[in-house]
Amino acid sequence: MDIPIRAGAHPDVSFLPALTVRRWVRSLAVLTAVALLGVVLCLQFGTERISLSEVVRILLAPRGAVADASGVNAAVILWDVRLPRLILAFLVGASLAAVGVALQALLRNPLADPYILGISSGAALGAALALQFGFTWAIGGFLGEQLSAFLVAALTIGAIYRIAIADGRIPVQTLLLAGVIINAILSALILFITSLADSTSAFRLFFWLMGSLATLGYGGLGALAVSVAVGVGLLCSQARNLNLLSLGEDPAQGLGLDVERVKHVIFFTTALLTGVAVAVSGLIGFVGMIVPHAVRMVSGPDHRLLLPAAALVGGTFLAIADTVARSLLAPTELPVGVITALCGGPFFIYLLVSYRKGYQG
């Protein structure tokens, strides 16, 4: 069907508010620069303050080439303690934010986040089991508790999926309900294990449950970075599909989307990212819900920009939050989940008030 065009009419399309390549590139370039800058600035802080000029000097110098004794110490702290931890925080934050964006579109619920489906509780149960029964093996840089967390998270996803799926379809309401039920069962199991544990493991588990970024070697970081890159990349490839899906399943299918196939892709990708993130970081709330919200207010709801932007912002946000958690009461370390909630809340209120009228960035 052609739309009737008035003779000689040449419609002006320049003002159509569509996402342009230029705006996409510019936005993501700015966010990448902010992320890099944020990480460099965060490197200064910790138990011991390292000045910014020192940080830059160590980062630019080839490894092992820093001359004086204090410099060597600082270089070790920077390269082996702070940088891996910042990268870990960034990867976890990016995963949680990207998963939050995808789940909010999939479930058409702005309150959805990686935890609502109970996947995190599965991971937590896995870690609790490992800590209680003393699995100490490690594969590819991952600790036993992390591997166990990931495995149980994957089993949880499988269980939720099997419960929710009916006639090859995954109705959203059933999915949410299955998540809530599984969550309740798993939480009870975690409490049961915690009550069995001796005080040391119980404390460690408690800390992990609150969300903390334990150090992961570069080997583990590499594996994590690959999983996160694959997951976030897959989600970004579904960006336009997510735009349609966020209108509802019927309208999306009416516009030509193979809804069930897209739901399967989104479901498994978010499961992978959540499992990986929770396994290495515990339960860090708030990032997956607040970051997508905040970014959407500025970037608009088009997932082609929203998804990568939220991943970058989520990563930067968690890197900064973890730095604050480490250095605020140094040498005492706060759970990063406390910081994310305390920083994220007021920031969200500020955004809500500022951008209430116009969502256009």
Beta partners for residue 317, in sequence order? none
Exposed, middle or buried by CB within 10 Å (0-12, 13-18, 19+), for 177?
middle
Which of residues 296, 308, 327, 338 is near another protein by CB under 8 A?
296
Q: How many CB atoms lie within 10 A of CB 354?
A: 11
Under the binding rule (CB under 8 A), the answer on residue 299 touching another protein is: no
Q: By rule CB under 8 A, what count of residues binds another protein?
A: 43
Q: Encoding tokens for residue 293?
A: 């919200």
Q: Site residues for another protein, window 253-272 (CB under 8 A)?
A: 253-259
From the CB of 161, what's the least distance to another protein, in Å?
Answer: 22
Q: Encoding tokens for residue 332?
A: 């005492």
Per-position x/- string for 226-255, each x denoting binding to another protein as judged by CB under 8 A, each - no binding: ----------xx-xx--xx-xxx-xx-xxx
Query: How far is Cα 343 from Cα 164, in angstroms, rounded to an integer?
Result: 35
Residue 3 vs 69, nearer CB to another protein: 3
Binding segment for another protein (CB under 8 A), chosen from 14-22, 65-73, 216-224, 269-277, is 14-22
From the CB of 98, what's the least distance to another protein, in Å?
Answer: 15
Under the binding rule (CB under 8 A), the answer on residue 3 touching another protein is: yes
Under the binding rule (CB under 8 A), the answer on residue 5 touching another protein is: yes
DSSP SS3 for 155 = helix
For the chain, the C-alpha Rg in angstroms (whole number) is 22
Exposed, middle or buried by CB within 10 Å (0-12, 13-18, 19+), for 49?
exposed
Sites of contact with another protein (CB under 8 A): 1-5, 11-13, 15-21, 105, 108, 110, 236-237, 239-240, 243-244, 246-248, 250-251, 253-259, 296, 300-302, 304, 359-360
